[in-house]
Amino acid sequence: MNEDKKKELLQKMIHNVLLLFNNDESRKYVQIYLIDPLLNHVLERIFPYIVLTSILFILLILVTIVTCIFIYYHLKYSTPIQTL
């Protein structure tokens, strides 16, 4: 019986929370004072890693392009191997 009461209490709490968030004013309050600051903090912390990853990705692409150009010119101007 104790488990049933816990389950019922939990369902009532969830229902009340959902009713609370159905209100536009409550949603706006949660967004302004909870979600926005949290997202700003996370983005401030992760931004340097995003920049570093972007720079490394661009460098990788540039090295790949230079390597392809080098291989192309090397194959274009090299003499073919002659077989006997």
Distance, in Å, from the CA atom of 45 to the CA atom of 38, rounded to the nearest integer, reads 11
- In the chain, where are the structural domains located? 3-78
**pLDDT score at 84:** 64
Rg of the chain in Å (alpha carbons): 30
Question: In Å, how far are 21, 67, 69, 77, 79 from 73, measured between CA atoms?
Answer: 65, 10, 6, 6, 12
**pLDDT score at 1:** 61
Q: Check the CA dihedral 63-69-72-75 and report its sign.
A: negative
**pLDDT score at 17:** 87
Enter the pTM of the model: 0.59
- The phi and psi torsions of 40 (rounded to 5 degrees) equal -60, -45
Which ranges in the chain belong to alpha helices (H)? 2-21, 24-30, 36-77
Asked if residue 24 lies in contact with residue 18, where contact means CB atoms within 8 angstroms, the answer is no
| Positions of the chain with pLDDT under 50 | none
